[in-house]
Amino acid sequence: MPTANLPQYRSHKTVHAVKIKEIKKADVRNRCLLVPDAPGVPNIEVDNIFVRMKNMVAGWYYVVDEKGYASAMSPEAFEGDYSLATYS
C-alpha cells in the first residue's frame, strides 16, 4: 500500500497512519476495504485475514512503518504513543 495519501505520525519512530471509520467487504473474494476517517484519503484494500488476525474494528488505526510493514492499532495504544508529525 502506498503511503503518500496517509498522514504521518511520530513516536520513537515515524509511521504513516489513518483512523478507520468503517470496514467493508470488498467485491473481490477475501478482501476488505478500510474506509478512512480522514478527508482525501482513499479507501485501503487489505486481505480479510489482516483484519481478522489484528482483531481490527472501526475506530482502530491502519499503520504502515518506515519499512512498509502494515499493522493495526487500537485507538488507546496508538493515541497514547503517537502524535501527528508537523514540519516547519
What are 44-69's pLDDT values in tens digits?
A: 999 999 998 989 999 999 999 989 99
Identify whether the C-beta of residue 6 lies closer than 8 Å to the C-beta of residue 64: yes
In terms of Cα–Cα distance, which of 53, 57, 60 is closest to 23? 57
Number of domains present in the structure of the chain: 1
Task: Provide the domain limits for residue 65.
Answer: 8-82
88 inside domain:
no
pTM beyond cutoff 0.95? no
CATH number at residue 21: 2.40.50
Q: Binning pLDDT at 50, 70 and 90, where does residue 38 land?
A: very high
29 inside domain:
yes
pLDDT of residue 32: 93
What SS3 string covers 22-59? EEEECCCCCEEEEEECCCCCCCEEEEHHHHHHCCCCCC
70 inside domain:
yes
Identify whether the C-beta of residue 78 lies closer than 8 Å to the C-beta of residue 6: no
78 inside domain:
yes
pLDDT of residue 70: 94
